[in-house]
Amino acid sequence: MAYFQALFDRICGDLQRSTQEMSSDFLQLSTNQQRVSYALSIPSVHDYIRVKPMFKGKSGMEATKLREFGNKMFGQKDYESALQMYNESVLRAPFDPQVNHSHDHGDMNGNSQERAQCDKHEVTADDRNEFSLALANRSAVLFSLGKYDLSLNDIDLALRHGYPEELKYKLHERKGRCLWNLGRDQEALQSFVTAKEHVTKSQLNSKKRKSWKATVDKQIAELQRSPSSETSTVSITNIPSVSYGTNNTFPSLSTAVEIRQNEQRGRHAVAAQDIHVGDVLIVERPYGSVVLPEQSDTHCDYCCRRVSASLPCHQCSTARYCSRECGDLAWAQYHRVECRYLGLIHSGGVGGMGHLALRLVNKTGFRSLQDFDKVLEEKTARKEKEAGKDAQERKSESNADLQYEDFPGLNAEGVYTNDYNSVYHLENHSAERKPSDLFRRTVMAVFLLRILQNGGFFQVPGEDVSEEDQLLIASHLLRHLQMIPCNAHEVSEFEFYRGDPDRCRYLEVASALHCTMLGMFNHSCDPVINRNFYGDVLVARAIKPVGKGEEITLNYSVLYTTQSRMERQYKLAGQYFFKCSCQPCAENWPLFYDMVQDLQRRNKLPKLKCRQCFSVLPGSEDKDVNKVKCAACGEDQELQALRTELDTIVDDVFTKVGVVVTGEVESSLPVLERCLERMEKIVARPYGYYDSCQEAIKQCYGIVGNCNERTTP
Tell me the mean pLDDT per 10 residues along the chain, length 713: 88 78 78 95 92 93 96 97 97 83 45 44 65 97 96 95 93 96 93 93 92 93 73 55 96 96 89 98 97 96 95 95 94 97 94 96 96 88 67 45 63 89 92 91 97 90 81 98 94 93 93 90 97 97 97 95 96 93 96 88 84 93 90 92 96 94 93 97 95 96 94 67
Q: Kindly provide the residue ranges of all beta strands, DSSP E only, lying in 435-550, ordered along the sequence.
A: 489-497, 505-513, 529-534, 537-542
pLDDT on residue 233: 34
Query: Could you give the CA distance from residue 580 to residue 126 in angstroms, rounded to a whole number?
Result: 63
What pLDDT score was predicted for residue 102? 39
**pLDDT value, residue 100:** 47
Q: Which is it for strands 707-710 and 489-497: parallel, antiparallel or unpaired?
A: parallel
Considering only CA atoms, give the Rg of the chain: 30
- What is the distance between the alpha carbons of residues 167 and 136, in angstroms, rounded to a whole number? 10
- pLDDT for the residue 37: 95
* Class at the top of the CATH hierarchy for domain 60-92+95-225: mainly alpha
Q: Give the type of residue at 116.
A: A
Q: What is the pTM of this model?
A: 0.87
Question: 675 near 653, Cβ under 8 Å?
Answer: yes
Q: What is the pLDDT of residue 230?
A: 46
- Kind and range of the H or E run holding 370: helix 366-395
Q: Could you tell me what percentage of the chain is helix, strand and coil, using 3-state DSSP and rounding each to the nearest 5?
A: 50, 10, 35
Residue intervals of the chain classified under CATH 1.25.40.10 are 60-92+95-225
Strand-pairing partners, residue 312, are 320
